Amino acid sequence: MAVITTLADAVGDLVPDGSAVALEGFTHLIPTAAGHEIIRHGKRDLTLIRMTPDVVFDQMIGMGCARRLVFSWGGNPGVGSLHRLRDAVEHGWPHPLEIEEHSHAGMAARYVAGASGLPFGVLRGYAGTDLAAHTTVAGIRCPFTGEELTAVPALRPDVTVIHAQQADRQGNVGLWGISGVQREAVLAAATAIVTVEEIVDDLDRHHPNHVVLPSWIVTAVAPVPGGAHPSYAMGYSRRDNAFYTAWDRISRDRHTFRRWMEAFVIGTTNHAAYLAAIADPSRLEDAPDG
């Protein structure tokens, strides 16, 4: 049965330095609060895994948490580049970042293979591009048809972190809306941390596209209302489009980025304090100037 705990305790106990950590959520239910808690704990040398790294990975990379990034497509959705990711790759700031890039389909196949206990996944993809020469894939021939396909190695994160709408008091997790690869990423991992909007007596199973993760595949559940900000949790919060636009300006400059992180992430004790702080942008005027 999953343990219901605080996010700080879950990250402190279950995310060791040097581990491979997947934070999944596609457009929706992005586990931002967990990423911030990893930053607050000063975790280092992580291999970060995500199909679509966006703002929270930009923040984790810029704060020195990551040694390596395994991903497909990285950017500030609807806005442009991730400036801290680019700075790490192009200039080694705050330190060099190794990258392993795949297609969306390749990453999904890797998670499915990991969740299934298989050594690799197979797909039609990568052919006709030079991506295969720069990442970990291999050609494979179908033993039944002779078709040339692409094999991708299974993804088995040490820790997967997701955000969801609900968990019951036994640690069963319910999520709905755009589900991405959260289920597969949890099943593929050795340890799974789930932040949720609320703990309930009984899960509401009447939503379309509802997914239930049973407590025996979840290690820890932490109630963190608003834990997906600036993304959204269907039925609980709205996407903060203005934040994504503002992040482009904040993250372009190293000094401005560090001041913002010190004021709103490092300088807050938990996610509730973070949400209160960003509601008062004047707080940045009191941030350390260094």
List, for residues 27-41, the tens digit of each pLDDT value: 999 999 999 999 999
How far apart are alpha carbons 276 and 265 in whole angstroms? 11
In DSSP notation, 161-206 reads EEEEEEEETT--EEE-S--TTHHHHHHH-SEEEEEEEEEESS----
- For residues 123 and 111, the answer to whether their CB atoms sit within 8 Å is no
Does 287 have pLDDT greater than 60? no
pLDDT at 179: 87
Q: Burial letters for 115-138: b for 16+ Cβ neighbours within 10 Å, e otherwise?
A: beeeebbebebbeeeebbeeeebe
pLDDT at 283: 66
Does 190 have pLDDT greater than 90? yes
Q: Where are the alpha helices (DSSP H) in 4-82?
A: 7-14, 32-40, 55-62
Mean pLDDT of 226-244: 96
Residue 109 is encoded by which pair of tokens?
A: 């196949």
pLDDT at 268: 96
pLDDT by residue (tens digit) across 44-54?
999 999 999 99
pLDDT at 213: 96
- Binned at pLDDT 50, 70 and 90, residue 157 comes out as very high
pTM of the full predicted structure?
0.95
Q: What's the chain's average pLDDT?
A: 94
Q: What are the structural domain ranges in the chain?
A: 3-102+156-252, 122-152
pLDDT at 134: 87
* Length of the chain, in residues: 290
Does 217 have pLDDT greater than 90? yes
pLDDT at 17: 98
pLDDT at 286: 58
Does 290 have pLDDT greater than 60? no
pLDDT at 209: 80
* CATH number, domain 3-102+156-252: 3.40.1080.10
Phi then psi for residue 189, to 5 deg, are -90, 155
Does 130 have pLDDT greater than 90? no
